[in-house]
Structure 1
Amino acid sequence: MIFSYPCFSSLCCKRVFHLEVFFELSSCRAVVLFIGPTTTRILGAFALSSKMPPPEIMSCLECRNRKLKCDRRQPHCGKCQRAHRECCYPERKISKGTRRRDTKILEARLAQNVRSLKEYISAPDSEVLGQPGFTSSETDASVLVGDLDDTRSYGNSTDRDNGMDTDKSQGRSPQNGSQGLVHQDEVESHLPPEQMQRELYHAYFDRIHGCMPIIHPQRFHDALKLEPRLQPPRSLRYAMWTMAASLEEKYKHLANVLYKRARSYAQALEEQANVDAFVNVYNAQCWHLIATYEAQQMYVGRAWLSTGKCVRLVQLMGLQHLDALVPNPMNSLPKSKDFIELEERRRIFWAAFIGDRWASALSGWPMTINESEIHTNMPSSEAAFMRGKEEPGLALKDCLVESGATRLSSSFTGMVMAVTLMCRNFDHIHAKVSTELTNSNDDDEFWKRHRDLNNSLSDAFICLPEHLRITEELRDPNAFLLNMIMHTAVICLHQSAVQKLATKQDDMTGVLSQSVTRCIASARAISTATRLFSQHDLSRMNPWTAFTLYVAGLVYCHDLRLSYEPTQDGLSNVTFLLAAMKSIDLYQPITEYFTVQLEIELEA
């Protein structure tokens, strides 16, 4: 299945590229690529039944501004009519050769930017920061305002084409060009006000830490009180502030400013001659947070590159061999001082492992971390991590054997197990796609892998500890997501079986009907879990939750459209999933892309 969105191209570009996300459910991979003009293809059991005629008119101005697919209905398109927005079409047809933006749009945006600039210049410091009644030094306010003005277009046209600013973006002082890093005193004066820092730290550990428990709160706050050279680097602090600001309405308008600074300081560390300045746990934590924010904002190419940096950093430090029987001589880190320091190393490795698996699942690229080469125990429970009390170690392979899920000590450990099963599912389906089934032996091998994976997923569901199951009292976002991932893996596994058997006229063993039933049951379980968890704070959801809702929605669209008898609650469930995705979109912008495509499938 293929869906396309306009890429945020620079106005000076003479050619408009599109961001196409190839999602073939039979291969369970969504390949994100930047390519040329969009083409229409039909793939998988969820493909559209007929090709749409080429559009004769341009999209409405509202859909173009929001980067949404417009159905071009006259006088009001479907999306504007449902959202009760004013729908206007361009007065003249834009040339296909250049596809220049409408002059009125540019004039309106220019006027808006001029008004905003005047407001920032004339407004007091507290209003600039979006903090009524808040007092801060003139230096802090001027720095943040300067960054905001300088980065107003950051993350839009240039950045979505993976372009970067010069000088400042590279963490260099503008006065020194490419010859020096930002001066220490200058950087210290650029830190946000103390109250803003405290509020963003609180927001991070209250709302972000649950999804990514990679930093020990008390140990981090204690490190902030040390002398400057021993404190956490500014790149990590800005990355934490970025993630917190993205969910805080009070500071959301500064999230991109903080993100730019985090990336600049992280890149500046790489230019230092001292390897220890950037090959450390702090820097790996920083790049993991940066990659998460970039994926959340749909900076696709840069998100995968940042994920790769985090993975290579943990490998350079030898964190994949932390609990090996024979110490790896290539390890660059000294022995950990206590259990908390050791656990932080384990957790950033497994966070990089999860990021590597998601990058492979959603891009189709090979996985960087080889599962067979891991000799690091799984994360301990949250209580043991917070208290600094060591627990018996548990290897990844111990969680994947029969009844191994009973030994899961935390939702973070469960997330590692879930993404591992999901990517084993991808390996199985990829082997099926890349191998020509020319004899019965190959056919038997496919069904053997299918049964093994199905048994592993069933065993994981049965043996999942009670505190990780979906209940009305569940508040843990990772526990919620691990259930969703496993149901998504079940859908993808059995959809591959459906497509394999679709060409056969006889289904003697009833596998086809069983696989369809399993797909619908997992989709219904995802809908039920979302209904329960959506009653709580949606901002705490993991950004990748939308992907699981999208896959469940595809099952309902498939069930409603094809020859199988539709379920009674199919339409109501897919409608609910769309409503839930739109609510999550307020906090996780990446959700919009999955929402738009699911709307198209439902309309079809």
Structure 2
Amino acid sequence: MYGRAEPRQQPGYACEECRKKKLRCDRQRPQCGACANAQIQCEVNDRRVPRGPKKGSIGALRSRIVALERRLSTSQNEDGDGQELSLTSESPVKENASAQFPLPDWDITQHEHPSGNSIPLAWGPPPDGLPRSPLLFPDVSVLPTIAASYPSPKQSPPSIGDVYVPDLAKADLIQLYFDRVQPIIPILNKPKTFRWMNDSHNMSEAQQCLQYAMWTSATAFSSQFSGFQETMYAKTRFMLDQLDLSGNDALVCHIEHVQAWILITFYEFSRTNYRRGWLSAGRVFRLVQFLRLYDLDSPKPLGAEHEEDPISIEEKRRTFWIAYCLDRFISVSEGAPMTLSEEVVYTRLPCLDIDFQRGLVPQECFLAETMSSAEIRPYAPLAECVILVTICSRALSHKQIYTIETLYSNIPLDFASRHDWLDGMLTRRLNNLQANYPSITVAENPMIIFSYMVAHAAVIYLCRIVESLSRNDQNQTVVWEFQERGFWAAQEIARLAKEHEHLGYFKAHTFMPLTIYLSATRLAKHLEIRKGDLETNQARVVENSLHISIDALQKLQSVNNLANYYLQLL
């Protein structure tokens, strides 16, 4: 038979003793079998409220949900804001409402949510007239909103999402961070980072934000974690925004706070859009200025010195120089003025990466000393990138000064000597790179590859400046010489972009598309200028390099939105 021939339980109520011991009561009266065998009194409570929802309550809940969705949809259509509040559209109604709408457990310190501070349903209070649903929190008559009580960074509204990330996946993300993100954003000391991450109970809010930023940035360098990439980013941005707004002391800012914003800014450039990354970069620059990271190694007045961990100081140095490079990348790309002025920097260059990770932090030179020195010696890959991007920014300033001088006088003052000085400094830096990082070891470090590409981009930039002289009928020999050098530099960038395929584009620097874009525009202009002078084979070589540059951008756009941004500019 397919059905049961008799009921599962006897009619009536189980006695209190069987309920207590979780035994099946035979429900005999006046004494059940279990109580009779134990020779104890059998008590029955026949006024107990039956388990489960009341009859008809499930249907009533469903009707209220449908009515609420209808009213919300009507109100949103009238407002025209296009935003949707998803309550039940993605999953069927279940009898247990609390199981249907689980709250996200984002608290990495495993503290419980405060009982008196419920998490708001939406980012802000609903407009007047819209109903508030008691379905998600049946014990609360009116849901509080962010406007009434600003939550801490440990809380997040359910609209962010409730993607569960297992501990093993989090450990995998951290490993992925140090394998792919750290080589191009080398701001963290690995042993120190693992120490405070393993001490979750004493982790500060700034460190929590940094941990989430590390997880988020790691998702941008892998395809296997793309499923919860957006949710992780939204959670990190929410935590950072709350940390900015809910600080107890306006004069206190932790270095982990700046580091988290740097990681999120690089993520936004590569995974969201250029505008959002640019705006977040502005916040990074202001935090750097707030902490005076540009003045870490200046002589301190007597009595003001205090002992600080050398590793922590080196982390601050590296944080500043990453922000400094970010400022230069944006300025060179857009021709915009720079925020972090080179003239006031009194922070030493970062030491070699291997020394930094081992906890040995030797004192390096200052940027101004290195720029004026002709010494051939190894620098950290980040330091090489800093020096080369500084030359690019000086070339930008050189162009802007030339424009102003031309506007106010017919003869630009000291243009030739300034240009020769930049050219000589760039040549020395290329020689230093080739002496300390030959082609055999270039492919092992994405930051060194990028440094080479930045150096060649600086050559292209100087070529652009010299070309502006041709309109004034200046020395055409110098112009043609720089055009040839610019063409050679563009070919080198295309070659390095092709070599980077063997290392993998997931390991490519976030701003590598900028250098490839400069290469492609230079190659296209070379074809335009010399189309009447080039032989068939020479034209084919130029077209092949141009095709390699465009192909590299097309391949990069699947992992970096900056590539798509520059493809649209071509």
TM-score, scaled to structure 2: 0.70
1:160 matched residue in structure 2: none
**Which of residues 345, 354, 365 in structure 2 aligns to 1:374?**
345
> Are the equivalent residues in 2 in contact too, given 1:402–1:456 (CA < 8 A)?
no
What is the DSSP-based 3-state SS (H/G/I as helix, E as strand, rest coil) of the residue aligned with 1:275? coil
Whichever residue aligns with residue 451 of structure 1, its letter is D
- Asked whether the 8 Å contact 1:378–1:413 carries over to 2, the reply is yes
Mapped partners of 1:575, 1:522: distance in 2: 16
Residue of structure 1 aligned with 2:104, choices 138, 143, 147: 143
Q: 1:225 aligns with which of 198, 209, 219?
A: 198
Please list, as runs of the form range in 1=range in 2, the aligned pairs for 1:542-561 lying within 5 A after superposition: 542-561=509-528
Residue 286, structure 1, aligned to residue 260, structure 2: yes
Distance 1:185 1:493 in 2: 49
Which residue matches 1:22?
Answer: none
Change (3 A) 1:279 1:500: same
**Structure 2 residue aligned with 1:435:** 405
| Pair 1:426-2:396 in alignment | yes
Q: Which moved more, 1:517-526 or 1:182-191?
A: 182-191
> Which aligned pairs between 1:151-190 and structure 2 lie closer than 5 A?
166-167=123-124, 175-182=144-151
CA distance in 2, matches of 1:390, 1:174: 53
What corresponds to 2:452 in structure 1?
Answer: 483
* Aligned residue type for 2:349: M
User: Any runs of at least 4 consecutive aligned residues in structure 1 with deviations exceeding 6 A, and if so which?
Assistant: 113-116, 138-142, 187-191
Match of 2:79 in 1: none
Task: Summarize deviations over 1:543-566 as a string: whole Å, max 9, x none.
Answer: 211111111111211122234533
Task: Report how far residue 182 of structure 1 moved.
Answer: 2.9
CA–CA distance in structure 1, aligned partners of residues 398 and 389 of structure 2: 14
State the SS of the aligned residue for 1:443.
coil
Q: Give the structure 2 partner of residue 587 of structure 1.
A: 559
Give the aligned residue type for 2:216. T
Aligned to 2:425: 456
Alignment deviations for residues 283-315 of structure 1 (CA, whole Å, 9 cap, x no partner): 000111111111113533332222122222222
Counterparts in 2 of 1:589 and 1:579: CA distance versus 1, 3 Å: same
Alpha-carbon separation, structure 1, partners of 2:88 and 2:483: 57
Q: Report what 1:416 is aligned to.
A: 386
Distance 1:264 1:116 in 2: 25
Aligned 8 A contact 2:367 2:387 in 1: yes
Q: Is the 8 A contact 1:484 1:548 kept in 2?
A: yes
Pick from 187, 212, 221 the counterpart of residue 185 of structure 2: 212
Matches within 5 A, 1:272-421: 272-275=246-249, 279-327=253-301, 335=306, 337-404=308-375, 406-421=376-391
Aligned runs of 1:53-132 on 2, under 5 Å? 117=90
Q: In the TM superposition, what are the counterparts of 1:16-35 in structure 2 within 5 Å?
A: none
Structure 2 residue 556 is matched with structure 1 residue 577: no
- By relative contact order (CA 8 Å, sep 6+), the higher-ranking structure is 1
Deviations 1:34-78 (A, max 9, x none): xxxxxxxxxxxxxxxxxxxxxxxxxxxxxxxxxxxxxxxxxxxxx
The C-alpha deviation readout for 1:199-253, integer Å capped at 9, x for no partner, is: 1111111111000010112211110222534345322122111111122212113
Q: Over residues 417-464 of structure 1, what are the superposed CA-to-partner deviations in whole Å (9 max), with x where a residue is unaligned?
A: 111111000000011123326656x33522221111111111111122
**Cα distance in 2 for residues equivalent to 1:432 and 1:347:** 33
Of stretches 314-323 and 212-221 in structure 1, the one that deviates more from structure 2 is: 314-323
Partner residue, 1:468: 437
**Unaligned stretches of 5+ residues in structure 2:** 1-82, 107-121, 126-141
Aligned counterparts of 1:307 and 1:118: Cα–Cα separation in 2: 39
Alignment-mate amino acid for residue 574 of structure 1: L
Once residues 200 and 518 of structure 1 are traced to their aligned partners in structure 2, the CA distance between those partners, rounded to angstroms, is 43
SS in 2 for 1:464: helix
| Correspondence list, 1:250-261, <5 A | 250-261=224-235
Aligned residues: 442
Query: Is contact 2:187–2:315 with CA below 8 Å preserved after alignment?
Result: yes
- Is contact 2:520–2:546 with CA below 8 Å preserved after alignment? yes
- In the TM superposition, what is the alpha-carbon distance from 1:327 to its structure 2 partner? 4.9
Alignment partners' CA distance in 1, 2:100 and 2:393: 49
Asked if the contact 1:270–1:278 (Cα under 8 Å) also holds between the matched residues in 2, the reply is no
Percent identity of the aligned residues? 21
Query: Structure 1 residues 143 and 475, CA, compared in 2 at 3 Å: closer, same or farther?
Result: same
Conservation of the 8 A alpha-carbon contact between 2:156 and 2:238? no
Provide the rounded CA distance (Å) in 2 between the counterparts of 1:596 and 1:301. Answer: 15
2:529 to 558, 562, 568: 562
TM-score (normalised: structure 1): 0.67
Matched, 1:196 2:148: no
What do residues 464-486 of structure 1 show as CA deviations (whole Å, max 9, x unaligned)? 26443444652211111111111
Could you say which structure has the larger radius of gyration? 2
Task: Specify the alignment match of 1:158 in structure 2.
Answer: none
Runs of 5+ unmatched residues, structure 1:
1-109, 123-137, 146-164, 599-604
Secondary structure in 1 matching 2:315 = helix
Partner of 1:17: none
Q: Structure 1: how far apart are the matches of 2:153 and 2:281?
A: 28
Tell me, yes or no, if the aligned pair for 1:296 and 1:589 is still in contact at 8 Å.
Answer: yes
